[in-house]
Amino acid sequence: MAGKSSKVIDTSGVLVEANVQLVDYLIIAPILIPIIFGAILLMMRRSDEWTKSGVNLSAYVACFGIALMTLASFALLLRVNAQGPITMTMGRWLPPFGISFSVDKLGALLTFVGSFVALMGAIYSTADAKVIDRRFGFYPFLLLMMAGVSGAFLTGDIFNLYVWFEVLLISSFGLIVLGSEKKQLDGTMKYAFLNLVATTMFLIATGYLYGLLGTLNMADIAMKLQNYDGDGPVRTIAVLYIAAFSMKAAAFPLNFWLPASYHTPRIVVSALFAGLLTKVGIYSLLRVAVMLFSFEREFLSIGIAWLAGATMLVGVLGALAQNDIRRILGYLVISGIGTMLAGIYVATVPGLSGVIVYTVHSMLTMTALYLVAGMIGKISGSFDLREVGGLYAVSPMLSAVFFVLCLAIAGLPLTSGFWGKFILVKATLEVEGAQWLALIILVSGFLTTIAIFRIWIFAFWRGGPSGTPDGKENYQNNILDDKYKLTASLVIGVLTGAILLIGFMPEWLLSYSADAAQSLLFPNDYIESVFGKEAL
Amino acid sequence: MNTLIFRTFAPFITGLMVVFSIFILLRGHNEPGGGFIGGLIAASAFAIYGIANGVPPVRRAIYFHPHSIAGFGLLLAALAGIPSMVAGVPYLTALWTYPVIGNVEVALSTPLFFDIGVYLVVVGAITGIALSLEERHRG
């Protein structure tokens, strides 16, 4: 529209005519809230100088922001659960030209769990983040990273997905280098380089796809690919996408950046990275490889199966070989990614719902495990298995919680991990000729049990570090200050509670994720939410 | 670059460039220009001032920390989409109003505020980078 009010332009057939309800703003609320709070926090980096007592104001603002975001995404989850996929197209331009944000059950669930995990991380950081971290922008980076994460989960446009990847990557660079120690710079280099390569591949694939189909809207792509014949270029694009996203998810053979970098930053940063970032890669694989390129599955599937098996084994064998607790956990993240890939290979409704359950479980469990590792590190002053020990005597409660988390990551009953693995193994066994993959899931679960209980035995069960006589009196542990102890216990307790809750009452999550898997495989209602009924 | 001529002229050039950048920002909706390019011009103005007179005078002159300017710009850009919520249209839909202020019709719109936000983000981010590079350069 030009500057003169007298000029009238006919906009029919260009703009979305339907009115937008206030409640539809829930679609972008989980993105908008962290952006707004991130911007505010950027302006108050030095807020501890504003008052004489040096109150940690920015931490509280950040927690409040992420809490709001969690509430908004929970409301969104309820709405999507009741109504099915919903779409809002930015700036009122008609899709596929306007950028759509389409939320289906998968996106809504992961956004909610992601912001919940981030809330726990933010609360933990109130007691843990140092003044210098706050000055260098820990909280603005955290909030902007969350905007990127939920943006990736909620967008319905593949180029926009790339943009959110960039947003979360750049913020995560800031978070991982916070502190600027030598080994952090080293870890950041590997992390940044591999991720930038993956992002570039993603961009190239998107360029090809646009050249081929002339659209970037995911619903539109799904429709056009259904009627597209001639599969050469489509296969190239699908392989490029899968390579890019598996790199981001740290799948074999491009998994080495993860254990090389995740142990270097602050423990809360590692926890959030392990909980959130690789899962964005898995989510994108689900969205692109399953929903968009579904008919290419026969061609691609055997590759994904090998990828899954190798990732599981490499991850867990790497975990067995390590002595640093954080590195063990890093390798277990990779092994979990392999398990999720196995479900993507199966790509039936039970298989995909197993992936979704396992993703939710992995987000909660990995974050909790890293935070417990942080507590172990604080108490014993080291993350090396050879130098820790006797923590059972220091805190029986922490040992109990860690025990539950061990069961969860190993996929043993009573916990959320059991259900994810159970459904996945069952779904894999149903596929003709994929029994070997089910066997690998079980074997890697068994090896995970050994790897994680090594930490349990070394850090908690035995009397003390090697070279000291047994018994609590013989060696010194750091005494935690009360505020840290309270905050960390609260956060880890809530996360463990959530894991146990899913373990005991999985019905809601299982039926929800089955619905989500159904709408991934048959995205008709997703397309309908963007283009209306006539399009189908 | 520490010549007398440059040091004498730098403040004038800087002032001129900042005014020009605002001009570019405002004409941006209908003609070439806009927040991004305007912000770049303003950031180079501050960089010139920094090269001529050193970083501390620039920091004093812009008063706020560059990162805070960028943060405010981001906030402004994000909030520019909120009026759409009241109007019952999707986020970031352009809304226009034409108040007459003293016989002059002024076109006000939400894209204008979005663009000012972009301008401030670019000014803040690029100035922040330029100033810290300049500081390091001087040791």
Grouped pLDDT means (10 residues each) for chain B, 139 residues: 85 95 90 92 94 90 92 95 88 87 86 94 95 77
Element (H, E) at A165: helix A158-177
Write the DSSP symbol of residue A347.
-
With an 8 Å Cβ cutoff, is B23 touching chain A? no
Q: Half-sphere exposure (CA, 13 Å, Cβ side) for B30?
A: 7
At residue A107, φ and ψ (nearest 5 deg) are: -60, -45
Q: Are A33 and A76 in contact (CB under 8 A)?
A: no
Nearest CB among B71, B85, B88 relative to A39 is that of B71
Q: b vs e for A371-409, b when ≥16 Cβ sit within 10 Å of the residue's Cβ?
A: bbbbbbbbbbeebbbebbbbbbbbbeebbebbbbbbbbb
B68 to chain A: closest CA residue: A43
Structure tokens at A520: 């991934």
Shortest distance between the Cα of B107 and any Cα of chain A, in A, equals: 6
Q: What residues of A are in contact with residue B107 (Cβ under 8 Å)? A: 3-5
pLDDT at position A327 is: 93
Shortest distance between the Cα of A424 and any Cα of chain B, in A, equals: 39
Q: Are B98 and A3 in contact (CB under 8 A)?
A: no
A18 to chain B: closest CA residue: B89
Interface of A with B (CB under 8 A): 1-5, 16, 19-22, 24-25, 28, 32, 35-36, 38-43, 45-46, 88-92, 98, 137, 140
Contact A45 B67 (CB under 8 A): yes
Which residue type occupies B123? V
Dump the DSSP string for A108-159: HHHHHHHHHHHHHHHHHHHHH--HHHHHTTHHHHHHHHHHHHHHHHHB-BHH
pLDDT at position A450 is: 95
Element (H, E) at A88: strand A86-89
Element (H, E) at A29: helix A29-43
Helical packing angle, A182-213 and A218-226, nearest 10°: 50
Dump the DSSP string for B53-113: H-HHHHHHHH-S-HHHHHHHHHHHHHHTTTHHHHHTS-TT---EE--EETTEE--EEHHHH
Q: Half-sphere exposure (CA, 13 Å, Cβ side) for A208?
A: 16
Contact A91 B92 (CB under 8 A): yes
Is the bond preceding residue A253 a cis peptide, omega within 30 degrees?
yes
Shortest distance between the Cα of B54 and any Cα of chain A, in A, equals: 23
Handedness of CA B19, B21, B25, B31 (dihedral sign): positive
pLDDT along chain A (536 residues), means of 10: 55 75 89 95 80 76 95 95 91 87 94 96 86 81 95 95 94 88 88 92 95 92 83 86 92 87 90 94 92 77 90 94 93 94 91 95 96 90 84 86 94 91 93 90 95 91 74 63 89 95 93 93 90 75
With an 8 Å Cβ cutoff, is B106 touching chain A? no
A32 to chain B: closest CA residue: B78
With an 8 Å Cβ cutoff, is B107 touching chain A? yes
pLDDT at position A470 is: 65
With an 8 Å Cβ cutoff, is B91 touching chain A? yes
Q: Are A312 and A407 in contact (CB under 8 A)?
A: no
pLDDT at position A347 is: 86
Q: What residues of A are in contact with residue B65 (Cβ under 8 Å)? A: 45-46
Determine the 3-state secondary structure of A454 from DSSP. helix
B112 to chain A: closest CA residue: A3
With an 8 Å Cβ cutoff, is B105 touching chain A? yes
Shortest distance between the Cα of A516 and any Cα of chain B, in A, equals: 26
pLDDT at position A183 is: 86
Contact A35 B85 (CB under 8 A): no
Dump the DSSP string for A266-296: -HHHHHHIIIIIHHHHHHHHIIIIIIISGGG
Determine the 3-state secondary structure of A497 from DSSP. helix
A3 to chain B: closest CA residue: B107
* Complex ipTM more than 0.90, yes or no: yes
Q: How far is CA A224 from the centre of its chain?
A: 29
pLDDT at position B137 is: 67
pLDDT at position A3 is: 47
Nearest CB among A24, A42, A90 relative to B92 is that of A90
